Chain A
Amino acid sequence: MKNMRGRTRVLALGTATAIAVVAALAGCSGGSEAAGPNSSRPEGEIHVLVLADAAASAEQAAADRFNKTSDVKVVIDQGATAGSEYQAAVRNSAGSASAPDIFMSWGAANIQPLLDAGALMPLDDFIADDPELQSAFLPSVFDEEVVDGSTYGIPMRGVAPTFLFYNKSVLEAAGLEPAATWDDLLAQVAPLSAQGVTPLGLAGADKWPTQMWYQYLFARELGNEQVAKGLAGDADVWASDGSKAALAKIRELVDAGGFGQNFDSVTYGTDGSAALLRTGKSAYELMGTWHFATLEAGDADFVQNDLGWTAFPSVDGSGEAGEIAGNLSNYYNVAADTRYPDTVRGFLKELYSDDFLNDELTLGNLPPTENAADLIAADSDLGAVNKNYLSFVVGLVADAPTFQLSWDQAVPAESQTPVQNAMADFFNGTIDADAWISAMQDATAR
């Protein structure tokens, strides 16, 4: 018993110490608002935090070019490889002297908490000095990080809309043409299934591929403008007739066996759905631009000879023809308290320089710029199939009246999982349309 009391005392002592430390931490973290140049930042350099993947090489090359003529040097810091870790690092350091001057983000919802904290510099003055910072980019992509009339991010890295990929041989063997309308697509389910093929490959285990189907059906039935309202918290959008019509179409396609019986066990990361398409076990797959590289890594011959791509089929609804959805781009943001705003502005110009854009193209990223089509045509390193492909994507984006950011990225972080779950649960029949509607209303309520 005596022993026991001793242990309790030690525990109490430890707890007291811990609480004292916490109190001290809480006391000194009462942060001040970051604004204006911070002179405790490193002298003579600005820091760019980049995601440490293959594309970081293009950013390093841009910095090297810039540093040749600049007194204040650009230092590229390679951060995390995973987006979530990268964002945690940005959030944690925001406002401190060791925070990066330039860092990347994923869209308006993604930067909103940093905006609320006053950590981002509005880039309107930069654009006034150098209009090309805006005019060089496709408006549908550029506008994403314009919040309340002020621009906070400049597009960088590739644009990645989603569209239908298909296996030419599989469609040929079934005597079919790529579906141009929703009714075509629905009518092709039976003949493709009869051939022992999964009509539409889907990596349902990951949920975000499932979400792509909603994004297009809602774009076609309601139009992206309505969708954006819904994602911003307009509950009526989700309960509207157009929404119900889109859900009914999804239900019909799933129930007809369009996705086979076990799509929720198929993953994207372990080459589940890509292998289906590549090996002729599925006919179509709705996926983002990067799918080309994924398929190429698995079987380059297939991509050269048998891979087809087409815009999402038309649907009789209120949406305009050609509205698209997917990942717009990443954006460079600037810390509100950067010590050298002029250097930052100078470096951002690199983002629309031909050198940087060509580097991005070589990496397989399609630049979100007005001149992307010309760059592709002029690029002698690209093969014919790659050129065709990239030109198709450029055309898709350029002709799109609207471009809706992926839903789970357009909502605040706390709604990301609920939105993804709603997508998967309605698809596999766990919840019905009414439950889906109220799930989306809850997830988007502000």
Chain B
Amino acid sequence: MIQSASRGPDRTKRGGLQQAGRPGFAWSLPAVAFFAFFALLPLAVAIYLSFTKYNGIRLLPPKFVGLDNWSRLLTDDALHRSIGVTLTLIVLAVATQLPVSLLIGVWAAGPQRMRALVAALYFIPLLMSTAAVAVLWASLADPNFGVPAVLNGILGPNNVFSNLLGKPATALGLIVFIYLWGASPLHTLIYQGGARAIPEVLYQAASVDGAGRVRQFFSITLPQLKNTIVTSTILMVVGTFTTFDLILILTRGGPSGGTSNLPFFMYDRGVTALDFGYGSVVAVVLIALATVVSVVLVRATRYDEMQGTQEGL
């Protein structure tokens, strides 16, 4: 980091730009109304439903049951496992997507035409519907007719791939892999843009000073991409928190609940089981957990006071 706290912009005293183009509250009314209607209102309904018993029949309106649904929170092992699955998925998603997207993104930022071609091919999964992709992968994962059947010939029978959907660990691994395949192109795109914005002069100066490629990557590229990394990581975390379509189609939360994350669990308890009260409890838990994680992320990465990385250039 180049700048220190004392050299950073003084937000309180600086006028001009800070005040320019900031209209009054009225300007934000459409956005606020939209947010209130499509985010806050459903949230309020979910909180309200979480204190009721309701099975979706309007003839029998939600019946207030106090904390009945909430008391199940502490004893429901399936819910606890879902929280674990959700967090595991997030950790694995970030651990796989971050390095892969970062490296490919920086690589694709280079000027050669070949790189642009490879990058364009790499972005194809981004254009596909997750539902269609899930059905496709279900066929590919079939132990008798899919990829595992081919691998049996190479790795021998009963290898790690021969029962992909049948074991919690491999099923979770498959989902992480599909997400890596499907989501990393987006993050690669972000890193590509970020890497292209790094001024060439920094690399030229480093070359003059004798820094090799690796040193340049760690001393220039990485620090310059700090804000990009933070943004992309937050997107990954939020995206993985709400993973649902793939799990619904590919594993239905199985085997033995091993891939049942919170969104799927919420769907199962709320919609399949027609228990909108408890389903809403799970929804509120999901929101609370996501809020905690995002606050921690924002604080830990100082996303809220993010500053330019090109101070002094």
Contact = CB atoms under 8 A, between A and B. Distances in A.
A296 B57 CA distance: 40
Contacts of B40: 11, 14-15, 17-18
A271 B145 CA distance: 10
B295 to A, nearest CB: 14
A31 B60 contact: yes
Contact of B59 (A94, A264, A281, A430): A94
Interface string B270-307: 01111100000000000000000000000000000000
B55 A264 contact: no
Nearest to B274: A413
B134 to A, nearest CB: 10
A353 interface: no
Interface string A10-23: 11011101110110
A430 B40 CA distance: 41
Interface stretch (A45-53, A54-62, A420-428): A420-428
Contact of A430 (B25, B28, B58, B256): B256
B81 to A, nearest CB: 12
B275 A414 contact: yes
Contact of B41 (A11, A22, A206): A22
Contacts of B141: 265
Interface stretch (B92-100, B162-170, B210-218): B162-170
Contacts of B43: 18
Given A10-B28, A88-B56, A265 B163 contact: yes
B223 interface: no
A380 interface: no
A93 B167 CA distance: 41
B173 interface: no
Contacts of A10: 25, 28, 32
Interface string A87-98: 010011111100
A86 B226 CA distance: 49
Given A26-B62, A113-B274, A266-B143, A14 B166 contact: no
A267 B138 contact: yes
B83 to A, nearest CB: 17
B255 interface: yes
Nearest to A14: B36
Interface stretch (A116-124, A152-160, A312-320, A361-369): A116-124
B240 interface: no
B254 interface: yes
A417 interface: yes
Interface string B48-63: 1000000111111110
B142 to A, nearest CB: 5
B273 A6 contact: no
Interface residues of A, number: 61
Most buried by B among A29, A117, A265: A265
A271 B61 CA distance: 42
Nearest to B52: A26
A95 to B, nearest CB: 4
A275 interface: yes
A190 interface: no
A315 to B, nearest CB: 27
Contacts of B166: 204-205, 262-265, 428
Contacts of A430: 255-256
A148 to B, nearest CB: 19
A18 B42 CA distance: 8
Residue of A25, A198, A266 with most partner-chain B CB within 10 A = A266
Contacts of B253: 417
A316 B139 CA distance: 39
A417 B257 CA distance: 10
Contacts of A416: 272-273
A92 B48 contact: no
B224 interface: no
Interface residues of B, number: 49
B56 A91 contact: yes
A29 B158 CA distance: 57
Interface string A236-271: 000000000000000000000000011111110111
A26 B45 CA distance: 10
Contacts of B196: none
B257 A421 contact: yes
Interface string B220-261: 000000000000000000000000000000011111110000
A424 B144 contact: no
A397 interface: no
Nearest to B265: A417
Contacts of A15: 40, 44
Contacts of A205: 165-166, 251-252, 254-255
Nearest to B257: A421
A392 B230 CA distance: 65
B135 interface: yes
A261 B144 contact: no
Nearest to B49: A22
A387 B253 CA distance: 40
A6 B256 CA distance: 48
Interface in A192-214: 198, 204-207
Contact of A265 (B36, B143, B271): B143
Nearest to A207: B254
A272 B145 contact: yes
Interface string A136-179: 00000000000000000000000000000000000000000000
A267 B40 CA distance: 39
Contacts of B45: 18, 22, 25
Contact of A14 (B32, B251, B255): B32
Interface hub of B60, B148, B158 (most chain A Cβ within 10 A): B60
Contacts of B58: 29, 31, 91-96
Chain B CB within 10 A, most for which of A13, A17, A276, A415: A17
Contacts of B144: 198, 262, 266, 272, 275-276, 281
25 contacts: A6-B25, A10-B25, A18-B43, A29-B58, A30-B61, A91-B56, A95-B57, A113-B60, A204-B166, A205-B251, A206-B252, A207-B254, A261-B158, A262-B144, A262-B166, A266-B144, A270-B142, A271-B139, A275-B144, A275-B145, A413-B274, A413-B275, A414-B273, A414-B275, A415-B273
Given A18-B43, A91-B55, 12 more contacts: A18-B44, A22-B44, A91-B274, A95-B58, A205-B252, A262-B163, A264-B163, A270-B138, A413-B55, A416-B272, A421-B254, A424-B254
Top 9 closest A-B pairs, CB basis? A264-B166, A14-B36, A95-B59, A414-B273, A262-B143, A18-B44, A117-B59, A265-B165, A262-B163
